[in-house]
């Protein structure tokens, strides 16, 4: 696991797949159209939370659509890290920095970026939800071809151009069968914080799975048979290919899980 977990059982498995991702149409409301603050219920709050999660400042395990205390603190943390007034209100200045996708980011915004780069024939790597060197080089190549500053950062200008082909990216659901084991965050030496920054010690109700991002992209929502809806918010050296590890807070319950072949649906 991401320097925090102890495997409960040895893994083994097999899978079958077909990829998916949803991109909002240009006519739909986009993140940044509405100022968001504590107490707000809004569709944009889901996207705000996913963006905060991609920056590893949102410690909860799912986007809820409600702007509560957790989201407010996550916005403040992001603002502080980016030299903004830490008032916990998601306004234009916060959005302008939050919507930039760059090296080190993870999750759904990166999945979308990688899909768009593929549509432009700029990215040949796996859609893993991780903005690493390959994604950065693909962004730089795209920027060079279109006369943009080639800094490898997907800012407003780059994203606007990339989104011209958003309608060419199909929306599907990936279904596969995997071998699932369980883990807990309470082992000796474990931090309890996942690769994407979800704090499992603070929120032990979290539905989180560890994955091989080359199979299930980091940040995907995944329905796991016998476990429920979870987020692929962690990785681990012991997870290889067609395997997942489900988080169960209680050690004895995690041990009881055993090794199971389960069906999953992946919503990227």
pLDDT at 29: 52
Domain boundaries of the chain, sorted by first residue: 6-18+172-267, 37-91, 100-170
pLDDT of residue 110: 97
What is the C-alpha separation between 41 and 192, in angstroms, rounded? 29
Q: Fold match between 6-18+172-267 and 100-170? A: no
Q: What is the pLDDT of residues 176-224, one digit of tens each?
A: 999 999 999 876 667 789 999 999 999 999 999 999 999 999 999 999 9
The residue with tokens 């999660």 is 53
User: pTM, whole model, 2 decimals?
Assistant: 0.85
Q: Report the topology of domain 6-18+172-267.
A: Barwin-like endoglucanases (2.40.40)
Q: What is the pLDDT of residues 50-107, one digit of tens each?
A: 999 999 999 998 899 999 999 999 999 999 999 999 999 999 999 999 999 999 999 9
Which of the four pLDDT bands, split at 50, 70 and 90, describes residue 171? low
What is the per-residue pLDDT for 30? 66
pLDDT tens readout for residues 112-144: 999 999 999 999 999 999 999 999 999 999 999
**Which CATH number does the domain 37-91 belong to among 3.30.420.140, 3.40.309.10, 3.30.56.10, 1.10.101.10?**
1.10.101.10
Residue 232 to residue 250: CA distance in whole angstroms:
19
To which residue do tokens 């006369």 refer?
A: 147
| Per-residue pLDDT tens digits for 19-58 | 333 333 333 456 778 999 999 999 999 999 999 999 999 9
Give the Å distances, CA to CA, from 7 to 181, 237, 251, 256, 259: 8, 10, 11, 13, 11
Closest CA to 11 of 250, 172, 248, 237: 237
CA distance 178 to 259: 10
Checking if the pLDDT of 3 tops 80, the result is no
Is 100-170 in CATH node 1.10.101.10?
Answer: yes
C-beta of residue 119 within 8 angstroms of C-beta of residue 168 = yes
pLDDT at site 98: 96
SS in 3 state form for 47-86?
HHHHHHHHCCCCCCCCCCCECCHHHHHHHHHHHHHCCCCC
CA–CA separation, 146 vs 144, rounded Å?
5
At residue 190, the pLDDT reads: 72
Burial 82-112 (b: 16+ CB within 10 A, else e): eebebebbbbeebbeebbbbbeebbbbbbbb
Is residue 182 within 8 A of residue 248, CB to CB? The reply is yes
* Those residues with Cβ within 8 angstroms of residue 134's Cβ, 6 or more apart along the chain or in another chain: 123, 125
């Amino acid at each position: 696991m991401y320097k925090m977990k102890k495997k409960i059982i040895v893994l083994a498995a097999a899978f079958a797949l077909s990829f998916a991702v949803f991109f909002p149409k240009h006519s739909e409301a986009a993140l940044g159209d509405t100022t968001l603050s504590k107490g707000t219920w809004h569709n944009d709050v889901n996207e705000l939370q996913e963006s905060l999660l991609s920056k590893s400042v949102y410690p909860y395990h799912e986007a809820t659509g409600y702007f509560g205390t957790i989201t407010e603190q996550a916005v403040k943390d992001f603002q502080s890290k980016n030299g903004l007034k830490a008032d916990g209100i998601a306004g234009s200045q916060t959005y302008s920095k939050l919507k930039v996708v760059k090296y080190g980011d993870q999750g759904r915004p990166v999945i979308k970026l990688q899909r768009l780069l593929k549509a432009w024939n700029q990215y040949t790597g796996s859609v893993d939800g991780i903005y690493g060197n390959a994604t950065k080089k693909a962004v730089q190549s795209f920027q060079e071809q279109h006369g943009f500053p080639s800094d490898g950062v997907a800012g407003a200008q780059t994203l606007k151009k990339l989104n011209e082909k958003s309608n060419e990216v199909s929306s599907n659901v990936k279904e596969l069968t995997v071998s699932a084991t369980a883990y807990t965050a309470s082992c000796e030496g474990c931090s309890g914080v996942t690769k994407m920054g979800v704090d499992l010690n603070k929120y032990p109700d979290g539905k989180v799975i560890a994955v091989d991002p080359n199979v299930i992209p980091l940040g995907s929502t995944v329905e796991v048979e016998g476990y429920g809806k979870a987020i692929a918010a962690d990785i681990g050296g012991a997870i290889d290919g067609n395997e997942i590890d489900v988080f169960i807070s209680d050690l004895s319950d995690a041990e009881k899980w055993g090794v199971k072949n389960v069906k999953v649906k992946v919503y990227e």
